[in-house]
Amino acid sequence: MDPQFITLEGGEGTGKSTQAKRLAATLQKRGIESVVTREPGGSPGAEQIRELLVHGEPGRWSALTETLLVFAARVDHVERTIKPALASGKWVISDRFTDSTYAYQGVARGTDREIIRRVQSAAIGDFKPNLTLVLDLPVSVGLERAKARAGSENRFEGFDVEFHQKLQQAFVDIARRNGERCVLLDAGGSEDDVAELIWQTVAKRFNL
Question: Which tens digits make up the pLDDT trace of 39-48?
Answer: 999 999 999 9
pLDDT tens-digit series, residues 97-141: 999 999 999 999 999 999 999 999 999 999 999 999 999 988 767
Mean pLDDT of the 31-38 span: 97
Mean pLDDT of the 27-32 span: 96
Res. 149 pLDDT band, cuts 50 70 90:
low
**Cβ atoms within 10 Å of 203's Cβ, excluding its own:** 13
Q: Name all contacts of 62-69 with Cβ < 8 Å and 24+ positions apart.
A: 63/105, 63/109, 63/110, 63/111, 64/111, 64/115, 66/104, 66/105, 66/109, 66/111, 67/101, 67/105, 67/106, 67/111, 67/115, 67/116, 67/119, 68/119, 69/40
Mean pLDDT of the 65-82 span: 98
Q: Evaluate whether 82 touches 5 at the Cβ level (below 8 Å).
A: yes
For 157-191, the DSSP string reads: TTS-HHHHHHHHHHHHHHHHHTTTTEEEEE--S-H
Res. 12 pLDDT band, cuts 50 70 90:
confident
Output the pLDDT for position 57: 85
Output the pLDDT for position 153: 59
Q: Percent of the chain scored above 90 by pLDDT?
A: 76
Mean pLDDT of the 50-76 span: 93
Q: pTM to 2 decimals? A: 0.92
Report all structural domains of the chain as residue ranges with CATH numbers, in order of start. 5-206 (3.40.50.300)
Q: Return the closest-CA partner of residue 156 out of 82, 91, 70, 44.
A: 70
pLDDT greater than 80 at residue 142:
no
pLDDT tens-digit series, residues 152-197: 556 776 777 888 899 899 999 999 999 999 999 999 889 999 999 9
